[in-house]
Amino acid sequence: MPVVSKSAVSETSSRITDQSLHVQAQSPVRGILLLVASTVFFGLCDVITKSLAATLPAVEIAWIRYTTFSCIVVPMILLTGGRALFRSKRPGLQVLRSLGVIGSTLFFAQGLRFLPVAESTAIYFISPILIMAMSILFLGETVGWRRWLAALVGLSGVLVVIRPGTDAFQATALLPLLGATSWAAGAVVTRKMSGSDQPLTTLGYTAVLGCLGLILLLPFHWVAPTGREIGLGILMGLFFSIGQWLVVFAYRYGNASVIAPFSYVQLIWAGVLGYLAFSAFPDRWTIGGACIIAASGLYTAYRERVRMLQARGGA
Protein backbone atom coordinates (compact mmCIF):
# COMPACT_ATOMS: atom_id res chain seq x y z
CA MET A 1 0.00 0.00 0.00
CA PRO A 2 1.18 3.45 -0.77
CA VAL A 3 0.36 3.57 2.84
CA VAL A 4 2.63 4.82 4.73
CA SER A 5 3.42 6.23 1.58
CA LYS A 6 2.95 6.03 -0.41
CA SER A 7 3.27 9.82 -0.93
CA ALA A 8 1.48 9.36 2.15
CA VAL A 9 4.50 8.15 4.07
CA SER A 10 6.60 10.98 2.83
CA GLU A 11 4.24 13.53 4.33
CA THR A 12 4.36 11.86 7.73
CA SER A 13 8.10 11.40 7.89
CA SER A 14 8.81 14.94 6.78
CA ARG A 15 6.67 16.33 9.58
CA ILE A 16 8.02 14.13 12.37
CA THR A 17 11.61 14.98 11.55
CA ASP A 18 12.80 17.40 14.23
CA GLN A 19 16.06 19.25 14.86
CA SER A 20 17.76 16.15 16.23
CA LEU A 21 17.75 14.63 12.78
CA HIS A 22 19.69 17.43 11.16
CA VAL A 23 22.99 16.09 12.39
CA GLN A 24 23.07 14.30 9.05
CA ALA A 25 24.70 16.25 6.23
CA GLN A 26 22.30 17.50 3.59
CA SER A 27 22.52 15.17 0.61
CA PRO A 28 19.36 15.46 -1.50
CA VAL A 29 20.55 12.89 -4.05
CA ARG A 30 21.00 10.29 -1.33
CA GLY A 31 17.58 11.13 0.09
CA ILE A 32 15.96 10.82 -3.34
CA LEU A 33 17.60 7.44 -3.95
CA LEU A 34 16.41 6.17 -0.57
CA LEU A 35 12.86 7.34 -1.25
CA VAL A 36 12.82 5.76 -4.70
CA ALA A 37 14.10 2.52 -3.13
CA SER A 38 11.22 2.66 -0.64
CA THR A 39 8.69 2.80 -3.50
CA VAL A 40 10.01 -0.53 -4.79
CA PHE A 41 9.36 -2.19 -1.42
CA PHE A 42 5.94 -0.58 -1.09
CA GLY A 43 5.09 -1.77 -4.60
CA LEU A 44 6.13 -5.33 -3.73
CA CYS A 45 4.09 -5.08 -0.53
CA ASP A 46 1.01 -4.09 -2.56
CA VAL A 47 1.43 -6.97 -4.99
CA ILE A 48 1.61 -9.46 -2.11
CA THR A 49 -1.38 -7.78 -0.46
CA LYS A 50 -3.44 -8.24 -3.63
CA SER A 51 -2.41 -11.88 -3.83
CA LEU A 52 -3.45 -12.50 -0.21
CA ALA A 53 -6.68 -10.53 -0.63
CA ALA A 54 -8.01 -13.23 -2.93
CA THR A 55 -8.28 -15.66 0.02
CA LEU A 56 -7.87 -13.69 3.27
CA PRO A 57 -9.94 -10.80 4.67
CA ALA A 58 -8.42 -7.31 4.78
CA VAL A 59 -8.41 -7.25 8.60
CA GLU A 60 -6.30 -10.41 8.76
CA ILE A 61 -3.89 -9.14 6.09
CA ALA A 62 -3.46 -5.84 7.93
CA TRP A 63 -2.93 -7.68 11.23
CA ILE A 64 -0.18 -9.84 9.76
CA ARG A 65 1.47 -6.72 8.36
CA TYR A 66 1.41 -4.79 11.63
CA THR A 67 2.42 -7.79 13.71
CA THR A 68 5.51 -8.27 11.56
CA PHE A 69 6.15 -4.52 11.70
CA SER A 70 5.89 -4.58 15.50
CA CYS A 71 8.32 -7.50 15.77
CA ILE A 72 10.88 -5.39 13.92
CA VAL A 73 10.22 -1.92 15.34
CA VAL A 74 9.74 -2.70 19.04
CA PRO A 75 13.15 -4.41 19.53
CA MET A 76 14.78 -1.52 17.66
CA ILE A 77 13.16 0.97 20.03
CA LEU A 78 14.19 -0.99 23.11
CA LEU A 79 17.78 -1.30 21.88
CA THR A 80 18.01 2.34 20.81
CA GLY A 81 16.40 4.26 23.62
CA GLY A 82 14.57 1.82 25.85
CA ARG A 83 11.03 2.24 27.08
CA ALA A 84 11.50 6.02 27.25
CA LEU A 85 10.95 6.18 23.50
CA PHE A 86 7.39 4.96 24.02
CA ARG A 87 6.62 8.03 26.14
CA SER A 88 4.93 10.42 23.76
CA LYS A 89 4.39 14.10 24.51
CA ARG A 90 1.13 13.92 22.56
CA PRO A 91 -0.24 10.39 23.16
CA GLY A 92 -3.79 11.32 22.16
CA LEU A 93 -2.63 12.60 18.80
CA GLN A 94 -0.46 9.53 18.34
CA VAL A 95 -3.56 7.35 18.80
CA LEU A 96 -5.55 9.43 16.30
CA ARG A 97 -2.73 9.27 13.78
CA SER A 98 -2.45 5.50 14.19
CA LEU A 99 -6.18 5.08 13.61
CA GLY A 100 -5.88 7.02 10.36
CA VAL A 101 -2.99 4.89 9.18
CA ILE A 102 -4.75 1.64 10.15
CA GLY A 103 -7.91 2.76 8.36
CA SER A 104 -5.95 3.53 5.21
CA THR A 105 -4.39 0.06 5.31
CA LEU A 106 -7.75 -1.66 5.68
CA PHE A 107 -9.48 0.28 2.90
CA PHE A 108 -6.57 -0.10 0.51
CA ALA A 109 -6.20 -3.84 1.15
CA GLN A 110 -9.93 -4.35 0.63
CA GLY A 111 -9.77 -2.35 -2.59
CA LEU A 112 -6.96 -4.53 -3.92
CA ARG A 113 -9.30 -7.50 -3.64
CA PHE A 114 -11.29 -6.07 -6.57
CA LEU A 115 -9.02 -3.62 -8.39
CA PRO A 116 -5.67 -3.86 -10.22
CA VAL A 117 -2.64 -2.64 -8.31
CA ALA A 118 -1.97 0.22 -10.74
CA GLU A 119 -5.53 1.54 -10.55
CA SER A 120 -5.68 1.37 -6.75
CA THR A 121 -2.30 3.09 -6.43
CA ALA A 122 -3.25 5.85 -8.86
CA ILE A 123 -6.42 6.64 -6.91
CA TYR A 124 -4.57 6.49 -3.60
CA PHE A 125 -2.11 9.14 -4.74
CA ILE A 126 -4.80 11.78 -4.43
CA SER A 127 -3.84 11.85 -0.71
CA PRO A 128 -1.49 14.89 -0.96
CA ILE A 129 -4.39 16.93 -2.33
CA LEU A 130 -6.65 15.74 0.49
CA ILE A 131 -3.94 16.61 3.02
CA MET A 132 -3.84 20.13 1.66
CA ALA A 133 -7.63 20.50 1.91
CA MET A 134 -7.76 19.10 5.45
CA SER A 135 -4.91 21.36 6.53
CA ILE A 136 -7.07 24.33 5.63
CA LEU A 137 -10.03 23.03 7.61
CA PHE A 138 -8.25 21.73 10.70
CA LEU A 139 -4.92 23.59 10.86
CA GLY A 140 -5.96 26.97 9.50
CA GLU A 141 -3.37 26.89 6.72
CA THR A 142 -3.71 29.28 3.80
CA VAL A 143 -3.69 27.95 0.24
CA GLY A 144 -3.40 30.14 -2.85
CA TRP A 145 -5.40 29.81 -6.04
CA ARG A 146 -2.60 27.96 -7.85
CA ARG A 147 -2.64 25.07 -5.41
CA TRP A 148 -6.43 25.02 -5.45
CA LEU A 149 -6.28 24.73 -9.22
CA ALA A 150 -3.76 21.90 -8.89
CA ALA A 151 -6.13 20.17 -6.47
CA LEU A 152 -9.00 20.37 -8.97
CA VAL A 153 -6.74 18.95 -11.66
CA GLY A 154 -5.79 16.08 -9.33
CA LEU A 155 -9.43 15.32 -8.62
CA SER A 156 -10.14 15.29 -12.35
CA GLY A 157 -7.39 12.67 -12.67
CA VAL A 158 -9.18 10.47 -10.14
CA LEU A 159 -12.41 10.86 -12.13
CA VAL A 160 -10.56 9.76 -15.27
CA VAL A 161 -9.39 6.60 -13.49
CA ILE A 162 -12.71 5.60 -11.90
CA ARG A 163 -14.99 7.01 -14.69
CA PRO A 164 -18.22 7.50 -12.69
CA GLY A 165 -21.41 7.34 -14.73
CA THR A 166 -19.97 4.88 -17.26
CA ASP A 167 -20.22 1.11 -17.57
CA ALA A 168 -16.56 0.91 -16.50
CA PHE A 169 -17.28 2.43 -13.07
CA GLN A 170 -16.90 0.15 -10.05
CA ALA A 171 -18.11 1.19 -6.61
CA THR A 172 -15.09 -0.64 -5.21
CA ALA A 173 -12.92 2.13 -6.70
CA LEU A 174 -14.10 4.22 -3.76
CA LEU A 175 -12.17 1.96 -1.34
CA PRO A 176 -8.66 3.28 -2.19
CA LEU A 177 -10.19 6.77 -2.16
CA LEU A 178 -11.40 6.15 1.39
CA GLY A 179 -7.94 4.81 2.19
CA ALA A 180 -6.36 7.99 0.88
CA THR A 181 -8.78 10.04 3.00
CA SER A 182 -7.89 8.06 6.12
CA TRP A 183 -4.20 8.50 5.43
CA ALA A 184 -4.67 12.24 4.85
CA ALA A 185 -6.38 12.54 8.23
CA GLY A 186 -3.44 10.78 9.86
CA ALA A 187 -0.97 13.05 8.08
CA VAL A 188 -2.81 16.18 9.24
CA VAL A 189 -2.66 14.91 12.82
CA THR A 190 1.07 14.36 12.30
CA ARG A 191 1.44 17.99 11.27
CA LYS A 192 -0.44 18.97 14.40
CA MET A 193 2.12 17.23 16.62
CA SER A 194 5.10 18.25 14.48
CA GLY A 195 8.39 18.02 16.39
CA SER A 196 6.78 16.60 19.54
CA ASP A 197 8.14 13.07 19.30
CA GLN A 198 11.02 11.25 17.65
CA PRO A 199 10.37 9.22 14.47
CA LEU A 200 10.94 5.94 16.34
CA THR A 201 8.25 6.90 18.84
CA THR A 202 5.75 7.53 16.06
CA LEU A 203 6.66 4.32 14.25
CA GLY A 204 6.37 2.42 17.53
CA TYR A 205 2.90 3.77 18.26
CA THR A 206 1.76 2.97 14.72
CA ALA A 207 3.10 -0.58 14.84
CA VAL A 208 1.88 -1.52 18.33
CA LEU A 209 -1.52 0.18 18.13
CA GLY A 210 -2.06 -1.30 14.68
CA CYS A 211 -1.28 -4.78 15.95
CA LEU A 212 -3.38 -4.51 19.12
CA GLY A 213 -6.29 -2.70 17.49
CA LEU A 214 -6.62 -5.21 14.69
CA ILE A 215 -6.55 -8.09 17.18
CA LEU A 216 -9.91 -6.82 18.48
CA LEU A 217 -11.40 -7.16 14.98
CA LEU A 218 -9.64 -10.39 14.08
CA PRO A 219 -12.11 -12.85 15.71
CA PHE A 220 -14.89 -11.53 13.44
CA HIS A 221 -12.83 -11.93 10.25
CA TRP A 222 -10.52 -14.86 10.92
CA VAL A 223 -9.73 -17.35 8.16
CA ALA A 224 -7.14 -20.03 8.92
CA PRO A 225 -4.14 -19.18 6.66
CA THR A 226 -2.11 -21.79 4.83
CA GLY A 227 1.65 -22.07 5.23
CA ARG A 228 2.11 -20.24 1.93
CA GLU A 229 -0.15 -17.40 3.06
CA ILE A 230 1.72 -17.05 6.36
CA GLY A 231 5.03 -16.91 4.49
CA LEU A 232 3.73 -14.30 2.05
CA GLY A 233 2.24 -12.31 4.93
CA ILE A 234 5.55 -12.19 6.80
CA LEU A 235 7.33 -11.18 3.57
CA MET A 236 4.72 -8.45 3.06
CA GLY A 237 5.30 -7.13 6.58
CA LEU A 238 9.06 -7.21 6.03
CA PHE A 239 8.82 -5.22 2.80
CA PHE A 240 6.46 -2.77 4.51
CA SER A 241 8.91 -2.28 7.39
CA ILE A 242 11.90 -1.79 5.08
CA GLY A 243 9.93 0.77 3.09
CA GLN A 244 9.02 2.68 6.26
CA TRP A 245 12.63 2.81 7.42
CA LEU A 246 13.91 3.93 4.02
CA VAL A 247 11.43 6.81 4.06
CA VAL A 248 12.50 7.93 7.53
CA PHE A 249 16.16 7.87 6.53
CA ALA A 250 15.43 9.59 3.19
CA TYR A 251 14.16 12.68 4.99
CA ARG A 252 17.34 12.94 7.02
CA TYR A 253 19.23 13.93 3.90
CA GLY A 254 17.09 16.62 2.33
CA ASN A 255 14.05 18.86 2.53
CA ALA A 256 10.64 17.28 2.07
CA SER A 257 9.77 19.67 -0.76
CA VAL A 258 12.72 18.33 -2.76
CA ILE A 259 12.40 14.64 -1.96
CA ALA A 260 8.64 14.04 -1.64
CA PRO A 261 7.74 14.36 -5.37
CA PHE A 262 9.84 11.28 -6.14
CA SER A 263 7.30 9.12 -4.29
CA TYR A 264 5.31 9.21 -7.55
CA VAL A 265 7.82 6.73 -8.96
CA GLN A 266 5.64 4.17 -7.21
CA LEU A 267 3.02 4.65 -9.92
CA ILE A 268 5.52 3.13 -12.35
CA TRP A 269 6.30 0.19 -10.08
CA ALA A 270 2.60 -0.42 -9.55
CA GLY A 271 2.09 -0.86 -13.28
CA VAL A 272 5.21 -2.96 -13.84
CA LEU A 273 4.82 -5.24 -10.83
CA GLY A 274 1.08 -5.59 -11.37
CA TYR A 275 1.74 -6.75 -14.92
CA LEU A 276 4.52 -9.16 -13.92
CA ALA A 277 2.49 -10.70 -11.07
CA PHE A 278 -1.03 -10.70 -12.51
CA SER A 279 -0.62 -9.91 -16.24
CA ALA A 280 -2.78 -6.85 -15.58
CA PHE A 281 -1.53 -4.00 -17.73
CA PRO A 282 -3.13 -0.65 -16.85
CA ASP A 283 -5.51 0.65 -19.51
CA ARG A 284 -5.18 4.07 -21.13
CA TRP A 285 -7.64 5.61 -18.69
CA THR A 286 -5.61 4.50 -15.67
CA ILE A 287 -2.34 5.66 -17.26
CA GLY A 288 -3.85 9.01 -18.28
CA GLY A 289 -5.47 9.59 -14.91
CA ALA A 290 -2.28 8.62 -13.07
CA CYS A 291 -0.30 11.13 -15.14
CA ILE A 292 -2.81 13.87 -14.31
CA ILE A 293 -2.72 13.02 -10.59
CA ALA A 294 1.08 12.92 -10.58
CA ALA A 295 1.34 16.25 -12.42
CA SER A 296 -1.04 17.81 -9.91
CA GLY A 297 0.91 16.43 -6.97
CA LEU A 298 4.25 17.53 -8.41
CA TYR A 299 2.98 21.06 -8.98
CA THR A 300 1.55 21.15 -5.46
CA ALA A 301 4.96 20.12 -4.09
CA TYR A 302 6.59 22.83 -6.21
CA ARG A 303 4.24 25.51 -4.87
CA GLU A 304 4.90 24.27 -1.32
CA ARG A 305 8.62 24.71 -1.92
CA VAL A 306 8.08 28.22 -3.30
CA ARG A 307 5.94 29.11 -0.29
CA MET A 308 8.61 27.86 2.12
CA LEU A 309 11.36 29.81 0.35
CA GLN A 310 9.25 32.97 0.42
CA ALA A 311 8.56 32.47 4.14
CA ARG A 312 12.28 32.10 4.85
CA GLY A 313 13.09 35.14 2.77
CA GLY A 314 10.60 37.22 4.73
CA ALA A 315 11.79 35.97 8.08
What is the structure's pLDDT at 170? 80
> Alpha helices of 54-144 — where are they, by DSSP H?
58-80, 91-112, 117-124, 127-139
Q: How confident is the model at residue 12 (pLDDT cuts 50, 70, 90)?
A: very low
Average pLDDT over residues 126-145: 80
End-to-end CA distance of the chain: 39
What is the structure's pLDDT at 23? 42
pLDDT digits (tens, 9 = 90+) for 99-133: 998 999 999 999 999 988 989 998 998 887 888 88
Residues 108 and 124 sit within 8 Å (Cβ to Cβ): yes
Is the pLDDT at 215 greater than 90? The verdict is yes
Is the pLDDT at 17 greater than 80? The verdict is no
SS3 87: coil
Among 197, 128, 116, which Cα is nearest to 162's? 116
What is the structure's pLDDT at 211? 92
- Residue 56 gets which letter from DSSP? S
C-beta neighbour count of 149 within 10 angstroms: 14
Q: How confident is the model at residue 41 (pLDDT cuts 50, 70, 90)?
A: very high
What is the structure's pLDDT at 47? 94
pLDDT digits (tens, 9 = 90+) for 254-266: 666 667 778 888 8
> Alpha helices of the chain — where are they, by DSSP H?
7-16, 28-53, 58-80, 91-112, 117-124, 127-139, 145-162, 174-192, 199-217, 227-250, 256-259, 265-278, 284-314
What single letter denotes the amino acid at residue 170? Q
What single letter denotes the amino acid at residue 56? L
What is the structure's pLDDT at 62? 93
Percent of the chain with pLDDT over 70: 87
Is the pLDDT at 231 greater than 90? The verdict is yes
What is the structure's pLDDT at 110? 92
What is the structure's pLDDT at 161? 84
